[in-house]
A = this chain, B = another copy of it.
């Protein structure tokens, strides 16, 4: 997977599920900070980052179908790069290809939820441990900065910004591992539960959100492996614990 895509998040993308073709092919107009305007695979990268950040910040609603032509018109490219990106995301289980070819955001089920929970529990502490030797005091400072912003967004109730920053916090740690195996697996997991998270936070709000970010930062500063693993584990437990009642009540009613 080209890692260049995952670094820049939510810069080009404003709103995916927007109106029909109100954009022209303005590839040369928005070249202010575009790193690869006429490079190889430029359109595909653009589509990839757009849809990915859209998924992570909850722009897509679970159960809602997405169309190739619709996305292509929104982003302003031909359907071709969209087709390839959708295939990629389907391979990561971030999207579901129904037997008739339609693509939609998968619905969350209790079984799926607890599997994701379990996989995160197993993989993310391991990834944090791999990353710890590569994390400097400068990283700790940047993480603290992100965490402060998170607290801010929690207070202001900005669920979308919270999701984006929470993802940035965790993957700032994980990406430092230089992992080429575990990191993509965890990436796939986040893409799977993020849309569901958004619908929950949109309903219950962000007020009673708690996290173990400060403990994680402290562990990084002290270079304490056990403490970092414990913080990540507890953070997963906290985050998923908020979602759990929703998925359970949903399984009763539906």
- Which A residues are within 8 Å of any B CB, using their own CB? 1-2, 36, 40-41, 83-85, 87-93, 97, 99-101, 111-112, 115-116, 118-119, 122-123, 126, 130, 178-182, 184-185, 188-189, 192
User: Given the interface contacts A99-B40, A100-B40, does A182 sit within 8 Å of B91 by beta carbon?
Assistant: no
Q: Are B115 and A179 in contact (CB under 8 A)?
A: yes
> Nearest Cβ in chain B — how far from A125, in angstroms?
10
Nearest CB to that of A113 among chain B residues? B181
> Nearest Cβ in chain B — how far from A241, in angstroms?
18
Residue among A41, A112, A119, A178 facing the most chain B CB atoms (10 A cut-off): A119
Report B-chain residues with C-beta under 8 Å of the C-beta of A93: 1, 180-181, 184
Q: Are B119 and A185 in contact (CB under 8 A)?
A: yes
Report B-chain residues with C-beta under 8 Å of the C-beta of A181: 93, 112, 115-116, 119, 189, 192
> Nearest Cβ in chain B — how far from A33, in angstroms?
14
The CA-CA distance from A40 to B112 in the complex, in Å, is: 27
The CA-CA distance from A23 to B12 in the complex, in Å, is: 42
Report B-chain residues with C-beta under 8 Å of the C-beta of A36: 99
The CA-CA distance from A3 to B34 in the complex, in Å, is: 32
The CA-CA distance from A116 to B126 in the complex, in Å, is: 12
The CA-CA distance from A88 to B89 in the complex, in Å, is: 8
Report B-chain residues with C-beta under 8 Å of the C-beta of A122: 122-123, 126
A-B contact pairs, 19 of them (CB 8 A): A1-B93, A1-B97, A2-B97, A40-B99, A40-B101, A84-B84, A84-B87, A85-B87, A91-B91, A93-B180, A93-B181, A112-B181, A115-B182, A118-B182, A119-B182, A122-B123, A122-B126, A181-B189, A184-B188
